């Protein structure tokens, strides 16, 4: 029997990005606090991700034809002392990108930037989903290809945390001290000065973590550079509070009322504000409001569009071989949750869900909590045939996949 590994998505996770740094140590000491360089002597560490040979394919997927992601393609150059310049990605009459024009721009010092790679690359989508499954914050991935002795962007500040994954070549980073800790999105953009800088040099296989608010710039010297910027768009406490007041407003007419006419000309009625805040505090302490807010944030996380994973058609071809002993699995990158209402239970994943009677709660919870199991191990008030029918449904809808051992039976190789 041939031995094959489960999909590489099992490795594209936060532990893998940080290795040999322990994830819990990172979250306890570095997260939102300070830059961290993970230097490795392993140029092939990121070989499972798209590399220099795939850039043209990613360009075509991003800006070809009437693609809605065309705006995610940027060709940009920043020279010290001069204003940055940017070129439009040109298309041929048949809708394909003018790759020769991009080549010429690259030779003239322009960086090629592809934003939203999690929407066009299956491997990057797996990485993004895996990180969201651990952090429960939105994750987006951009690609940056910079020619030798080039600089894509002038010194700037990001309002989201980033992991820089160096795929090819060498890039030098200068990171300054924040003028404001943890800035919010939409914060006023001002010219950035790099003060009390730290210098980091990234070689292939290295990772640099930058918390939001740290001003930085990156340049190449004698080699070109290809890196991924994995952006962590955190749900902040202020986001939680906004969501919480939104939930509360559905039940409290005081929050739905208009501010007093002419309110800009006089003081607010502070007692009214105090009464609302007292009700809010009481609702938070009860716990139910917090659970509703978590559900709303979870819904937003689920609805983030990403490229599909790879290999699922093989599982669909193997459905006819499933039996009670068959092993199935859910890739860790596919985050799911169970939601119960009066009379109904549903398991939600990606932008899809499967629903049934409320007695399926223990069944769905088992599936959500286990990444690999045999069909007969599923608990609940289901017959052997009903368990098999449910697994077939979940494979068909994209939640579960069939293990390689079962696929071999289907292909007649065992």
Domain boundaries, the chain: 8-233, 237-302, 312-410
Tokens (6 digits) for 196? 């009390």
Q: Tell me which residue of 316, 312, 321, 328 sits closest to 372, measured CA to CA.
A: 328
Question: For the whole model, what pTM was predicted?
Answer: 0.85
Please give the Cα distance from 228 to 207 (Å, whole number). 10
- Give the Cα separation of 412 and 405 in Å (integer): 11
Name the DSSP letter for residue 161.
E
Structure confidence at residue 10 (pLDDT): 46
* Cα-only R_g, the chain: 25
Calculate mean pLDDT across residues 58-78. 76
pLDDT digits (tens, 9 = 90+) for 39-65: 999 999 999 999 999 999 999 988 755
Distances (CA, A) of 403 to 6, 7, 11, 315, 335: 8, 10, 17, 8, 19
CB atoms within 10 A of CB 129: 25
> 312-410 maps to which CATH number?
3.90.930.40
Q: Is pLDDT above 60 for 87?
A: yes
Mean pLDDT, all residues of the chain: 88
Query: With left for phi above 0 and alpha for psi between -120 and 50, is residue 287 left, alpha or beta?
Result: left
Alpha helices of 344-383 — where are they, by DSSP H?
Answer: 361-369
Contact between 366 and 380 under an 8 Å Cβ cutoff? The reply is yes
Residue 339 is predicted with a pLDDT of 87
Average confidence (pLDDT) over 311-337: 88
Homologous superfamily of domain range 8-233: Cupin (2.60.120.650)
CA-CA-CA-CA dihedral for 286, 289, 294, 297, to nearest 10: -160
Residues 130 and 125: their CA atoms lie apart, in Å, by: 8
pLDDT band at 70 (very low <50, low <70, confident <90, very high): low
> What pLDDT, on the 0 to 100 scale, is given for residue 7?
40
Tell me the three state secondary structure of residue 21: coil
Per this entry, what is the length of the chain? Answer: 414
Q: At what angle do helices 288-302 and 270-286 cross, to 10 degrees?
A: 80
The answer to whether 126 touches 17, Cβ cutoff 8 Å, is no
Q: What are phi and psi of 314, to 5 degrees?
A: -65, -40
Sequence-ordered strand ranges (E) for 41-185: 73-77, 85-87, 111-114, 138-146, 161-169, 171-175
Can you give the pLDDT at residue 1? 24
């Amino acid at each position: 029997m041939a031995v094959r590994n489960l999909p590489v998505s099992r490795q594209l996770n936060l532990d893998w990005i940080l290795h040999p740094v322990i994830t819990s140590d990172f979250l306890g000491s570095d997260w939102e606090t300070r830059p961290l360089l993970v230097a490795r002597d392993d140029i092939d560490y990121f070989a499972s991700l798209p590399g220099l040979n795939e850039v043209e394919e990613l360009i075509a997927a991003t800006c070809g034809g009437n693609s809605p992601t065309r705006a995610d393609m940027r060709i940009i150059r920043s020279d010290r002392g001069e204003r940055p310049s940017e070129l439009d990605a040109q298309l041929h009459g048949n809708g394909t990108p003018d790759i020769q024009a991009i080549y010429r721009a690259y030779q003239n010092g322009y960086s090629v930037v592809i934003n939203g790679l999690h929407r066009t690359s299956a491997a990057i989508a797996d990485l993004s989903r895996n990180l969201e499954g651990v952090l429960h914050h939105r994750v987006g991935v951009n690609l940056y290809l910079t020619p030798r002795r080039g600089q894509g962007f002038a010194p700037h500040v990001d309002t989201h945390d980033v992991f820089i994954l160096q795929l090819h070549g060498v890039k030098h980073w200068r990171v300054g001290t924040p003028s404001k800790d943890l800035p919010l999105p939409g914060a006023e953009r001002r010219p950035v000065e790099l003060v009390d800088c730290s210098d980091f040099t990234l070689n292939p296989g290295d990772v640099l973590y930058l918390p939001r608010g740290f001003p930085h710039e990156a340049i190449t010297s004698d080699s070109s550079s290809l890196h991924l910027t994995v952006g962590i768009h955190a749900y902040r406490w202020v986001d939680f509070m906004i969501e919480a007041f939104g939930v509360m407003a559905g039940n409290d007419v005081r929050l739905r009322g208009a501010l007093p006419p002419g309110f800009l000309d006089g003081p607010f009625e502070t007692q009214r504000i105090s009464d609302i805040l007292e009700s809010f505090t009481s609702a938070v302490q009860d716990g139910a409001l917090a659970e509703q807010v978590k559900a709303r944030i979870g819904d937003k996380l689920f609805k983030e569009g990403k490229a599909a994973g790879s290999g699922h058609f093989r599982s669909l071809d193997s459905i006819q071989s499933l039996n009670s002993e068959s092993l199935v699995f859910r890739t860790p990158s596919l985050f799911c949750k169970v939601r119960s209402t009066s009379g109904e239970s549903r398991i939600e994943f990606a932008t899809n869900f499967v629903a049934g009677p409320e007695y399926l709660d223990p069944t769905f919870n088992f599936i959500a909590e286990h990444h690999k199991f045999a069909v007969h191990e599923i608990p609940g008030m289901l017959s052997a045939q009903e368990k098999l029918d449910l697994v077939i449904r979940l494979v068909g809808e994209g939640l579960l996949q069939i293990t390689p051992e079962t696929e071999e039976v289907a292909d007649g190789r065992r």
